[in-house]
């Protein structure tokens, strides 16, 4: 016997859910969605869960993460209940609920807290960064107050916290999601092939391509490289490429000065994709090209702008390193680039970024289940 | 009864209806065959009988050929009876020396797959029509004088509004109200959608207007005692206290309204738990509640649960209908609750919901208020129980994968609909008006004659006829007011003369006819020194129930006399010999495709062949010179209808033999 929590409606409004109570359950949203079928059901049922306060139903669902937010449902909704934006809000709610510290809840529910915490972490990271240049005057002053070892350990603790939080979050999510799967569904599936299918989806975005793909869709007219799936692909692989390049750079112990090194070439190409993707995404959100882009939360803006700034400043640094220009402005840019990049990583568990791990996990479990059906 | 003169110069017109008839009925052959009937001097095919040009031609035929009667074989008389009656009159013959034969709905449309039979039936029906018209007599419409006064029963919003308009149109109006004051149901209600006015404000305004009208008399605490008379001259006895008033009226408007459904004790905890009430009760109560907090039965209310369709739309019970105003009423009520009191959780447990028309914005407003809607199936109604002072509601929600939910609530409001007044059957008896399955008063035709009853002169207004909201109630009562005025404003009212007539010579007044008459139209009369039955021309509907009852055959119905009916049967039973060669021309397309028109023909040929011996499909195909597919198709269909059956395989074990099934 399920219970009803009528107070939950006002709680999820804080995560950006807006007019969802206008829903009259016609189900057009579910019908029009290219990713739904007999087994996979959204967004209508999620609006029900929200209205009735069925939090566990929301947190236990894979479907929440199968949605790519194309906004086709919102376009179709006869009551302007915004099912697409509602799904995004539910994902925010889920990210905040899986993560154990409560930081995400604070940040998603209140913009002032979001800004204050983002700035605070930026300052903290800046503080750590000065310790990397011990010959700076600021750094020398810092070391007088706190010894290097303390600062170093603080950094380790803070980054471990992020790491632990995301691991906790993933574990909580995996437990909740598998709870709704039957025993036989788990045992019979071949996890290797499910993993392959996740990899294929990440590589091709084939499921994303089915989103908002009707004849009358706005995107049907646009070239493929401007379509949302490719924008998402660019950002994702751009970021992954840059991450790999940076790690390689550090493993080679010499943050690359030669732009023709393989790791640098990878970084350059990945950076182009990242900047291309984020530029388009920011542009779409500014122009509100479709309903999907019409409502942008502060968390979305910050995430996109951070990626974009990280990309642009990265190129600036690459150029200045190539020309050996040791100007003050380059140092400032370096500081910004590093703070933003590190803050992206630091806030991984506490921001929209967490979807990068939750979505593949949900996809993996979805494939596990659908394999059984077939 | 005197022998009527037979009509000897009859014109018959057979309509093609642009193919509607002629595609199936062989109209040419029909025309040629009926031409030989006794008395027929004109027999014509026409493309559209109702077309202006044809009407003119018919008028000309009547005048030139000195026709004395006409038969039009076309569509249903419901469509064109009056059209051709007018043609007859324009041609100079009596409107009742015309008969309509329906060969479209009854022949071509009903038997489109058997055109030969359709043609046969058409000929039979037309022969019947010819004999009927040849026996027809000229009739004149009945004229009745009318009193320019109207009795309006019920001074609710419908009755009051209609009374005012009837008075303005020049009628003397008697407004009869059972209660001590006018207003009816709406005087119990507060803010009304859309105007926001209160029920009592409307009643006060209407009462003022009634007082301003010198020709409206309002009787309160008054009951209808007895109704007699008929259209134009009703006698309505009204009882006020011990006094009895006699009111004379030309017409009666029934606007008695409705009762609210009262749930049985224990239904969803009604009359069992103090926190379960009905919507009408709660509505009255919330209008009176002026405090900051919502308190009901000393209980602070933080959540309300409305349960919809209580006592309505029952698949098994008596109230099968949808009361249709309750959804709107409940949702409007919940919006008022939100406006008056803060932070109240509202649950709507419904089967289906519709706040139709302009009221749809209420539903939207309600969902935007954050009300929770849960949908139940009639077979799994919500369950209300009280556990230690707490009211708990359980419901299976169709909108959430049929999950069962349980929640606590402070107040349960049962959304009950409109039912007929408890005393409606009594009034129906006095007025002799019928009630429907739902026990509401019945109109003649829901779409085309929505405010008239089968009793001439008795009209319906408002929700005594079925659930209606205020504007619909007033619409219907005003429609009735105008219909009434159209009758009473003429000093003479014209009535159809197709009524029962008594042959005073043979009548011995046994009273059997008066007993069976549903309309109380037959009364004894002293005449020629004996008692005979007399028919009230204004009340008789010509239903004919008295005619077969009469032991001495003294009653017949105009246009349906024995001579006419017996003649029709004779005409219809005559043998029809169709000229098969002149059968319907099938077009190329029809012949080559399904061959629907040939179907019975093929069945007959197959039957004839199988009568001789059992045969296989290829053998039949060879014999009848048809391809095997065609034979297979028809034989299988015949098999489906149990006309043939299979019997053993042939020598090669390849084909079954088929034989006729013995019935």
**How many Å lie between the alpha carbon of A352 and the closest alpha carbon of chain B?**
28
The gap from C-alpha B485 to its chain's centroid, in whole angstroms, comes to: 24
**How many Å lie between the alpha carbon of B366 and the closest alpha carbon of chain A?**
8
Element (H, E) at B45: strand B40-46
Q: Give the pLDDT confidence of B441-483 residue by residue, as tens digits.
A: 999 988 989 999 999 999 999 999 999 999 999 999 999 999 9
CA torsion through residues B35, B36, B38, B41, sign:
positive
The set of residues, in sequence order, having a beta carbon less than 8 Å from that of A167 and lying 6+ positions away, is none
Spell out which residues of chain B touch residue A24, defining contact as CB-CB under 8 Å.
363, 367, 373
Element (H, E) at B492: strand B492-495
| String of DSSP letters for B304-346 | EEEEEEETSS-SSSS--S---SHHHHHHHHHHHHHHHSSS-EE
Residue B600: the pLDDT is: 61
Contact B154, B184 (CB under 8 A): yes
User: Contact A25/B367, CB-based, under 8 Å?
Assistant: no
Is A127 within the bounds of a domain? no
Q: Give the pLDDT confidence of B509-555 residue by residue, as tens digits.
A: 999 999 999 888 999 999 888 999 999 988 898 999 999 999 999 99
Spell out which residues of chain A touch residue B367, defining contact as CB-CB under 8 Å.
21-24, 79
Which tokens in the block code for residue B129?
């029509």
Q: Give the pLDDT confidence of B248-305 residue by residue, as tens digits.
A: 999 999 999 999 999 999 999 999 999 999 999 999 888 887 778 888 888 889 999 9
CA-to-CA distance for B104 and B97, rounded, in angstroms?
22
Total domain count, chain A:
1
User: Contact B372/A52, CB-based, under 8 Å?
Assistant: yes
User: Contact B373/A19, CB-based, under 8 Å?
Assistant: no
**How many Å lie between the alpha carbon of B407 and the closest alpha carbon of chain A?**
6
User: Contact B367/A22, CB-based, under 8 Å?
Assistant: yes
Spell out which residues of chain A touch residue B371, defining contact as CB-CB under 8 Å.
21
What's chain A's length in residues?
374
- Surface-to-core class of residue B414, CB atoms within 10 Å of its CB (0-12 exposed, 13-18 middle, 19+ buried): buried
CA-to-CA distance for B629 and B627, rounded, in angstroms?
6
Percent of chain B with pLDDT over 70: 96
Is A192 within the bounds of a domain? yes
The gap from C-alpha B607 to its chain's centroid, in whole angstroms, comes to: 45
User: Contact A45/B400, CB-based, under 8 Å?
Assistant: yes
User: Contact A4/B407, CB-based, under 8 Å?
Assistant: yes
The set of residues, in sequence order, having a beta carbon less than 8 Å from that of B215 and lying 6+ positions away, is B167, B170, B171, B172, B173
CA-to-CA distance for B300 and B294, rounded, in angstroms?
6
- Surface-to-core class of residue B432, CB atoms within 10 Å of its CB (0-12 exposed, 13-18 middle, 19+ buried): middle
What is the Rg, in whole angstroms, of the alpha carbon atoms belonging to chain A?
22
Instruction: Flag whether pLDDT at B100 surpasses 80.
Output: yes
Mutate to test the interface with A, among B327, B407, B408, B410 (most CBs of A within 10 A): B407
Is A268 within the bounds of a domain? yes
Element (H, E) at B367: helix B360-368
Range of the domain at A302: 152-373
Residue A149: the pLDDT is: 79
Residue B378: the pLDDT is: 92
Spell out which residues of chain A touch residue B303, defining contact as CB-CB under 8 Å.
6
Domain ranges of chain B: 10-139, 149-257+421-493, 267-417, 497-558, 595-660
Q: Give the pLDDT confidence of A217-263 residue by residue, as tens digits.
A: 888 889 999 999 999 999 999 999 999 998 888 787 665 567 778 88
Determine the residue of chain A that is closest to B405 in CA distance: A2
CA-to-CA distance for B612 and B621, rounded, in angstroms?
15
User: Contact B405/A2, CB-based, under 8 Å?
Assistant: yes
Spell out which residues of chain B touch residue A22, defining contact as CB-CB under 8 Å.
364, 367-368
Residue A170: the pLDDT is: 93
Q: Give the pLDDT confidence of B396-425 residue by residue, as tens digits.
A: 999 999 999 999 999 999 999 999 999 999
The set of residues, in sequence order, having a beta carbon less than 8 Å from that of B23 and lying 6+ positions away, is B108, B112
Phi/psi at B27 (5° precision): -65, -30
* Strand-pair category, B40-46 with B69-74: unpaired
Which tokens in the block code for residue B488?
């009473």
Residue B64: how many CB atoms within 10 A of its CB? 10
Task: Work out the pLDDT band at A317, boundaries 50, 70, 90.
Answer: confident
User: Contact B372/A79, CB-based, under 8 Å?
Assistant: no
Q: Shortest CB distance from B405 goes to which of A3, A19, A22?
A: A3
Phi/psi at A33 (5° precision): -70, 130
**How many Å lie between the alpha carbon of B374 and the closest alpha carbon of chain A?**
9
User: Contact A3/B407, CB-based, under 8 Å?
Assistant: yes
Is A219 within the bounds of a domain? yes
Spell out which residues of chain B touch residue A54, defining contact as CB-CB under 8 Å.
400
Write a three-state SS string for chain A: CEECCCCHHHHHHCCCCCCHHHCCCCCHHHHHCCCCCCCCCCCHHHHHHHHHCCHHHHHCCCHHHHCCCCCHHHHHCCCCCCHHHHHHHHHHHHHHHHCCCCHHHHHHHCHHHHHHHHHHHHHHHHHHHHHHCCCCHHHHHHHHHCCHHHHHHHHHHHHHHHHHHHHHHHHHHHHHHHHCCCHHHHHHCCHHHHHHHHHHHHHHCHHHHCCCCCCCCCHHHCCHHHCHHHHHHHHHHHHHHHHHHHHHHHHCCCCCCCCCCHHHHHHHHHHHHHHHHHHHHHHHHHHCCCHHHCCCCHHHHHHHHHHHHHHHHHHHHHHHHHCCCCCHHHHHHHHHHHHHHHHHHHCHHHCHHHHHHHHHHHHHHHHHHHHHHC
Task: Work out the pLDDT band at B435, boundaries 50, 70, 90.
Answer: very high
Residue A195: CA atoms inside 13 Å, Cβ hemisphere, count?
3
Instruction: Flag whether pLDDT at B26 surpasses 50.
Output: yes
Q: Shortest CB distance from B368 goes to which of A3, A4, A21?
A: A21
Is A143 within the bounds of a domain? no
Is A117 within the bounds of a domain? no
Q: Give the pLDDT confidence of B585-608 residue by residue, as tens digits.
A: 443 344 333 444 455 677 888 888
Residue B320: the pLDDT is: 93
Looking at every residue in chain B, the average pLDDT score rounds to 90
Task: Work out the pLDDT band at B382, boundaries 50, 70, 90.
Answer: very high
Q: Shortest CB distance from B406 goes to which of A3, A24, A45?
A: A3
Residue B476: the pLDDT is: 97
Q: Do domains B149-257+421-493 and B267-417 have the same CATH topology?
A: yes
**How many Å lie between the alpha carbon of A269 and the closest alpha carbon of chain B?**
48
Q: What SS3 class is residue B22?
A: coil
**How many Å lie between the alpha carbon of A14 and the closest alpha carbon of chain B?**
15
Task: Work out the pLDDT band at B638, boundaries 50, 70, 90.
Answer: confident
CA-to-CA distance for B372 and B366, rounded, in angstroms?
9
Q: Shortest CB distance from A52 goes to which of B371, B375, B405?
A: B405
pTM > 0.80: no
Residue B55: the pLDDT is: 94
Q: Give the pLDDT confidence of A264-298 residue by residue, as tens digits.
A: 899 999 999 999 999 999 999 999 999 889 889 99
Mutate to test the interface with B, among A3, A7, A51, A54 (most CBs of B within 10 A): A51
CA torsion through residues B606, B612, B614, B620, sign:
negative
Contact A226, A277 (CB under 8 A): no
Task: Give alpha helix (H) positions in B383-518.
Answer: 424-431, 470-488, 512-516
Is A299 within the bounds of a domain? yes
Is A351 within the bounds of a domain? yes
CA-to-CA distance for A162 and A171, rounded, in angstroms?
14
User: Contact B367/A24, CB-based, under 8 Å?
Assistant: yes
- What residues in chain A have their Cβ under 8 A from chain B's Cβ atoms? 1-4, 6, 9, 19, 21-25, 45, 48-49, 51-52, 54, 79
Residue A136: the pLDDT is: 72
- What residues in chain B have their Cβ under 8 A from chain A's Cβ atoms? 303, 345, 347, 363-364, 367-373, 375, 394, 397, 399-401, 403-407
Spell out which residues of chain A touch residue B372, defining contact as CB-CB under 8 Å.
4, 6, 51-52
Looking at every residue in chain A, the average pLDDT score rounds to 89
CA-to-CA distance for A274 and B265, rounded, in angstroms?
70
Q: Shortest CB distance from A48 goes to which of B347, B369, B400?
A: B400
The arithmetic mean of pLDDT across residues B21-40, rounded, is: 92
CA-to-CA distance for B270 and B311, rounded, in angstroms?
12
Residue B3: the pLDDT is: 47
Multiple choice CATH, B595-660, 1.10.600.10, 3.30.565.10, 2.40.50.140, 1.10.10.10: 1.10.10.10
The arithmetic mean of pLDDT across residues B648-661, rounded, is: 85
Could you name the CATH architecture of B497-558? 2-Layer Sandwich (3.30)
Model ipTM value: 0.88
**How many Å lie between the alpha carbon of A49 and the closest alpha carbon of chain B?**
8
CA-to-CA distance for A69 and A90, rounded, in angstroms?
12
Determine the residue of chain A that is closest to B406 in CA distance: A3
For the domain made up of B10-139, the CATH class stated in words is alpha beta
CA-to-CA distance for A83 and A29, rounded, in angstroms?
7
Q: Give the pLDDT confidence of B132-178 residue by residue, as tens digits.
A: 999 999 999 999 888 999 999 999 999 999 999 999 999 999 999 99
Residue B189: how many CB atoms within 10 A of its CB? 18
Kindly indicate whether the domain formed by B149-257+421-493 is annotated with CATH number 3.40.50.300.
no
User: Contact B372/A6, CB-based, under 8 Å?
Assistant: yes
Which tokens in the block code for residue B474?
């007033």
User: Contact B405/A4, CB-based, under 8 Å?
Assistant: yes
> Which CATH homologous superfamily contains domain B267-417?
FAD/NAD(P)-binding domain (3.50.50.60)
Q: Give the pLDDT confidence of A32-85 residue by residue, as tens digits.
A: 999 998 889 999 999 999 999 999 999 999 999 999 999 999 999 999 999 999
Which has the closest alpha carbon to A235: A177, A287, A305, A161?
A305
> Which CATH number belongs to the domain containing residue A358 in this structure?
1.20.950
Which tokens in the block code for residue B120?
């046969």
């Amino acid at each position: 016997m399920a219970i009803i929590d009528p107070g939950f409606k006002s709680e999820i409004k804080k995560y950006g859910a807006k007019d969802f109570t206008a829903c009259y359950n016609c189900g057009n949203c579910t019908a029009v969605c290219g990713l739904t079928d007999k087994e996979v059901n959204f967004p209508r049922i999620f609006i029900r869960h929200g209205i009735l306060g069925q939090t566990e139903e929301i947190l236990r669902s894979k479907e929440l993460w199968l949605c790519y937010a194309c906004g086709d449902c919102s376009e179709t909704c006869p009551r302007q209940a915004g099912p697409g934006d509602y799904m995004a809000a539910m994902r925010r709610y889920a990210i905040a609920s899986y993560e154990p510290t409560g930081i995400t809840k604070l940040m998603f529910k209140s913009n002032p807290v979001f800004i204050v915490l983002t700035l605070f972490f930026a300052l903290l990271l800046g503080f750590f960064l000065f310790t990397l240049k011990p010959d700076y005057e600021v750094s020398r002053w810092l070391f007088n107050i706190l010894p290097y070892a303390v600062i170093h350990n603080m950094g380790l603790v803070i980054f471990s916290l992020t790491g632990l939080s995301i691991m906790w979050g993933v574990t909580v999510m995996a437990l909740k999601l598998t709870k709704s799967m039957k025993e036989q569904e788990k045992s019979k599936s071949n996890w290797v092939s499910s993993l392959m299918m996740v990899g294929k989806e990440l590589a091709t975005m084939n499921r994303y391509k089915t989103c908002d793909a009707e004849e009358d869709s706005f995107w049907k007219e646009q070239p493929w490289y401007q379509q949302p799936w490719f924008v998402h692909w660019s950002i994702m692989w751009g970021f992954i490429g840059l991450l790999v390049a940076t790690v390689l750079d550090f493993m080679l112990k010499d943050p690359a000065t030669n732009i023709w090194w393989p790791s640098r070439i990878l970084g350059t190409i990945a950076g182009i994709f990242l900047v291309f993707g984020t530029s388009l995404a920011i542009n779409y959100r500014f122009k509100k090209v479709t309903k999907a882009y019409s409502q942008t939360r502060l968390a979305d803006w910050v995430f996109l702008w951070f990626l974009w700034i990280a990309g642009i400043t990265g190129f600036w640094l690459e150029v200045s390193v190539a020309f050996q220009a040791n100007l003050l402005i380059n140092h400032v840019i370096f500081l910004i680039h590093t703070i933003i990049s590190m803050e992206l990583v630091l806030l991984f568990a506490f921001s929209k970024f967490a979807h990068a791990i939750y979505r593949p996990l949900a996809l993996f479990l979805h494939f596990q289940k659908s394999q059984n059906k077939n | 009864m005197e022998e009527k003169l037979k009509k000897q110069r009859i014109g018959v017109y057979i309509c093609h209806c642009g193919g509607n008839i002629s595609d199936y009925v062989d109209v040419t052959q029909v025309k040629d065959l009926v031409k030989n009937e006794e008395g027929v001097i004109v027999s014509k095919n026409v493309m559209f009988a109702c077309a202006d040009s044809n009407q003119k031609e018919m008028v000309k035929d009547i005048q030139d050929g000195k026709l004395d009667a006409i038969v039009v074989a076309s569509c249903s008389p419901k469509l064109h009876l009056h059209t051709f009656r007018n043609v007859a009159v324009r041609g100079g013959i009596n409107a009742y020396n015309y008969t309509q034969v329906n060969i479209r709905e009854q022949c071509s449309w009903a038997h489109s797959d058997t055109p030969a039979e359709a043609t046969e039936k058409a000929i039979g029906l037309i022969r019947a029509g010819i004999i009927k018209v040849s026996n027809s007599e000229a009739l004149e419409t009945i004229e009745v004088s009318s009193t320019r006064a109207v009795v309006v029963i019920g001074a609710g919003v419908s009755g009051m509004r209609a009374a005012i308009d009837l008075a303005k149109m020049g009628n003397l109006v008697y407004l009869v109200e059972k209660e001590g004051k006018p207003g009816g149901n709406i005087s119990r209600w507060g803010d009304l959608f859309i105007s926001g006015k209160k029920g009592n404000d409307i009643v006060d305004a209407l009462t003022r207007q009634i007082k301003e009208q010198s020709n409206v008399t309002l009787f309160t605490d008054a009951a209808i005692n007895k109704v007699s008379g008929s259209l134009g001259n009703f006698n309505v006895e009204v009882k006020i206290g011990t006094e009895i008033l006699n009111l004379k009226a030309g017409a009666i408007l029934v606007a008695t309204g409705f009762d609210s459904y009262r749930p049985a004790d224990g239904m969803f905890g009604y009359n069992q738990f103090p926190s379960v009430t009905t919507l009408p009760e709660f509505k009255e109560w919330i209008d009176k509640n002026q405090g900051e907090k919502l308190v009901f039965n000393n209980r602070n209310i933080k959540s309300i649960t409305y349960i919809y369709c209580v006592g309505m739309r029952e698949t098994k019970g008596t109230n099968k209908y949808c009361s249709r105003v309750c959804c709107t009423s409940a949702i409007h009520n919940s919006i008022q609750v939100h406006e008056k009191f803060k932070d109240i959780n509202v649950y709507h447990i419904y089967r289906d919901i519709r706040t139709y028309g302009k009221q749809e914005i209420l539903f939207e407003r309600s969902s935007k208020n954050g009300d929770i809607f849960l949908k139940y199936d009639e077979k799994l109604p919500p369950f209300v129980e009280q556990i230690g002072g707490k009211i708990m509601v359980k419901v299976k929600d169709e909108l959430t994968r049929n999950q069962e939910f349980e929640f606590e609530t402070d107040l349960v409001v049962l959304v009950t609909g409109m039912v007929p007044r408890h005393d409606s059957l009594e009034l129906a008896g006095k007025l002799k008006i019928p009630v429907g399955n739902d026990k509401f008063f019945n109109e003649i035709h829901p779409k085309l004659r929505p405010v008239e009853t089968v009793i001439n002169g008795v009209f319906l207004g408002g929700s005594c006829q079925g659930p209606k909201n205020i504007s619909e109630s007033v619409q219907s009562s005003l429609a009735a007011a105008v219909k009434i005025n159209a009758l009473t404003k003429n000093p003479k009212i014209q009535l159809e003369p197709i009524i029962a007539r008594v042959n005073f010579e043979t009548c011995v007044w046994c009273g059997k006819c008066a007993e069976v008459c549903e309309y109380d139209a037959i009364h004894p009369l002293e005449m020629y020194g004996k008692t005979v039955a007399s028919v009230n021309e204004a009340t008789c509907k010509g239903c004919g129930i008295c005619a077969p009852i009469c032991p001495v055959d003294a009653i017949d119905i105009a246009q349906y006399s024995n001579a006419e009916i017996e003649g029709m049967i004779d005409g219809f039973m005559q043998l029809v010999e169709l000229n098969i060669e002149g059968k319907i021309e099938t077009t190329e397309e029809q012949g080559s495709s399904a061959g629907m028109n040939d179907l019975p023909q093929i069945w007959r040929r197959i039957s004839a062949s199988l009568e001789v011996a059992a045969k296989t499909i290829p053998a039949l195909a060879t014999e009848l010179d048809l391809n095997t597919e065609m034979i297979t198709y028809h034989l299988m269909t015949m098999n489906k209808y149990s006309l043939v059956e299979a019997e053993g395989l042939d020598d090669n074990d390849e084909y079954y033999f088929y034989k006729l099934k013995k019935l």
